[in-house]
Structures are given as structure tokens and as C-alpha cells.
Structure 1
């Protein structure tokens, strides 16, 4: 049987967010409406055959994300989530919330934190496959020169998210 998830849409200041939750109400994916095909592809890579049905996300999840986009940055920490992926991807994804709001870290810096300083490219690749944008703050990773590089939702969204969290670009 294919895995079944619920799909909800949440308007935000930077576009409509797609919220994918499981039967326990845990967030499995957050992506942007204009990147829905990529989100579905990433979900298939993680979970194999799966089905998405339109259904409202849990009230607490919607409230936390709405609060974040209204300026209560700390609301992200209260969101419960679950990811699939490889053990290495999971290690990277679980490290992302350790980058405090209002700060950034280079891909090399994250690789060093994970005690794998030579795995910069692998960290970048795992970061690019992050299924839970914003909540697992992949937007806080930047290039070694301090430049904005790669963001699955587009660099304008990355710039907005960082500014929203108090980072001057």
C-alpha cells in the first residue's frame, strides 16, 4: 500500500506554502506551490509510492507557521515533524534547526559541526533535498564567501526569510 499524506495550502507573504502531514499530524513536507512537482518528486524518493489527498493541516501547525510569518520567529521550534531520507540526509536535516534564527552558517561550517569537514558537497546536496523548508531552516546556509547560494524555493524567498529573521544580506 502506498503511504498516504494530507496536503494543505497556507497563504504566506512569499507565496502559498504546501503543507504535507501524516496521519499523526506531523509535518512531512513544506514547499511552495510553484515548486509542487519538485516536492512530489522528493517525497517519492523518500517514501516510494505515496498518495496526497487534500485535507486541512492540524490547527496548531497552521497557527505556528502563521505566527512565524507574522514575526514570531520562535514558533518554528514548536512544530513537530518527521523525515524519511538516508541516514546522512537525516543527520543534516536534524542539524539545521541548530542554526539559530538571525544567524547563518556556511555549508562547510555545517559539515564541520557534523564532524565531517570534507563532506561540504554532500551537506549541500542533502540540504537541497530538505523536504521541510522553513521549519528545517535550510535557508540559513550560505556560501563560504557569505553569498546567498541555492535555495529550493528561489533566492528571493531565501533573501526574504533571512531578512524576516533579522539577517542583513
Structure 2
């Protein structure tokens, strides 16, 4: 397993993967040593994550290889269908998966998402649009949703 660390506006991103794909992207709060040589298996993921934070990328095309149960993978596959700049409620996500009563299980699977940003669990909100349930912290969820808004609010001040 190869590992790379990159700085983002939300902290240091830790990217892990191998020839079979990216297995994990997480954000860590502590400072870590950045290495200039990135393993070839991770180069594309690093490039695309950096482009996302620069506002130049809306979707990711590198190979994913998350580890989880079949149910978790089903939830994560559905998360990948949420368009950039859009949100969905946990209830609507449960309905899309065929069982509105599975909302707690869907929320738990969402919380176990191992590939930060790319599998966009930050795009899932409460039924009334409230910011709930984000493992990386609600402040990061708000930042990501604001970053993805298609219509940016213009500042009144230069």
C-alpha cells in the first residue's frame, strides 16, 4: 500500500492505494511531512484532488477500491451518483436504495465512507437541509458544499 500526503484548505489529505485503486482518502488535523516524490499509483489521484480544491475539477476519474461490506459499497455507489453542487437527504438516499426504513443503516454506511470527497458523503444532508452527520466535522462539510455551489455569492467588498 502506498501513501501520499497533500495540503488542502481543510487540512492534510492522506491518500492510500495501490495498483488496484485508491482505498482511502482521509483528512488529518495534525501536521505531517510532505514528500515531493509521489508513488506513480497515487499521482493521478493527487493531481485530481488538487484540481478539485483549485476549483478546476467537478468529478474524479481515477480508480477506486474501497473496503467495506456489500451494503456499504451499495450506499457508496449511490453516493457517487450525487451530482457536483447538489445535495440529497438521508431519507431520499434510503429511498433510492429501495428501503426508506433503512435510513439509520444508510447513515451509518455513509459515515464509514473511506474515500473523502471523491465518494461525496458530504452531499448528504438532513431532511430539512440541515448539516448533520459528517465524520470530518460539520465545518468541513459546510466548506465543501460552499466550494461546490455553482453560483458563488459575490462579495460586496473588494
Q: TM-score, normalised by structure 2?
A: 0.85
Q: Residues 17 and 30 of structure 1 are in contact (CA less than 8 Å); yes or no, is this contact kept in structure 2?
A: yes
Give me the whole-angstrom Cα distance separating, in 2, the residues matched to 1:73 and 1:100: 13
Q: Secondary structure at the match of 2:139?
A: helix
Superposition pairs of residues 125-136 of structure 1, within 5 angstroms? 125-136=108-119
Q: CA deviation at 1:116?
A: 1.3
**Structure ID, larger Rg:** 2
Match of 2:67 in 1: 84
1:120 equivalent among 65, 83, 103: 103
- Give the C-alpha shift of residue 26 in structure 1: 1.4
Task: Give the distance between the partners of 2:20 and 2:15, measured in 1 at CA.
Answer: 11
Q: Is the 8 A contact 1:26 1:81 kept in 2?
A: yes
- Residue 70 of structure 1: aligned partner: 54
Partners of 1:73 and 1:165 within 8 A in 2: no
Which 4+ residue blocks in structure 1 deviate beyond 3 angstroms?
none
Correspondence for 1:96: 79
Aligned residues: 143
The runs of 5 or more residues in structure 1 that have no matched partner are: 36-54
Task: Give the secondary-structure state (helix, strand or coil) at the position aligned to 2:80.
Answer: helix
SS of equivalent to 2:79: helix
Q: Does 1:26 align with 2:10?
A: no
Structure 2 CA distance for aligned equivalents of residues 6 and 163 of structure 1: 31
What secondary structure does 2:24 align onto? Answer: strand
Shift of 1:97: 1.1
**Structure 1 residues 165 and 159: alpha-carbon distance in aligned structure 2, compared to 1, 3 A threshold:** same
SS in 1 for 2:134: coil
Q: Which has the higher helix share?
A: 1
